Amino acid sequence: MLLWKSILAAASLLVPVAAGAEQLHAIFNAAEDGTATVAISPCTPEEAGECVYHALTCSPGQWPPVRFSIITGPVEQVAKAMILVTDAWPSGTMKLAGGKTVDLQFTSVHLDANEMDGGWMLTTGISDPTPLFDALTEGSGEGAMLVVGGEAFTLAPEKGDGAKLARFKNECTQ
């Protein structure tokens, strides 16, 4: 068991370096409780729970209802950029197809220990997702990226992933 944990920890340290060269996949999941997630992973949907890089999640019963989490990657850089904002709330930009952008305000920045790689995981809360949901369609979601703390995170890496973001929106707004 200890050997297996050591292997997983060592492998997860290599993930951020190889992330740029790997094919990423958007994996959509909706639960009966109204929670919906679009997770970005280099793994197949069957294996994605083992290697999610970042995810967009909504939980209607929680505040804020929509959150963006960074599990692997430049977590510390993004956290510093968001926490050290002095003139306003931390913000981000959703870049959609056709050059459309949506400004987002984050009302929470939360860090947790990442036991897989010994680093950190960052979760931000989007206080009002209405402007994002108003702009998000299957077409506008193609190639969508979220820019947070000066770093860009893809949410629709493959053709057809705009449909997954549209399904996410539909689940979150029911």
pLDDT the model gives residue 21:
60
Q: Which residues of the chain have pLDDT under 70?
A: 1-21, 86
H or E element at residue 15? helix 2-18
Is the Cα torsion angle 22, 172, 143, 96 positive or negative in sign?
negative
The pLDDT, as a whole number, for residue 12 is 37
Phi, psi of 70 (to 5 degrees): -115, 115
Q: Where are the alpha helices (DSSP H) in 33-129?
A: 75-83
Q: What is the dihedral of CA 144, 149, 151, 155, to 10 degrees?
A: -30
| Token duo for residue 140 | 């506008």
Backbone torsions φ then ψ of 34, nearest 5 degrees: 95, -5
Q: Express each pLDDT in 59-80 by its tens digit.
A: 988 889 999 999 999 999 999 9
Amino acid code (one letter) for 73:
G
User: What is d(CA 30, CA 106) in angstroms, rounded to the nearest whole number?
Assistant: 23
pLDDT on residue 70 = 97
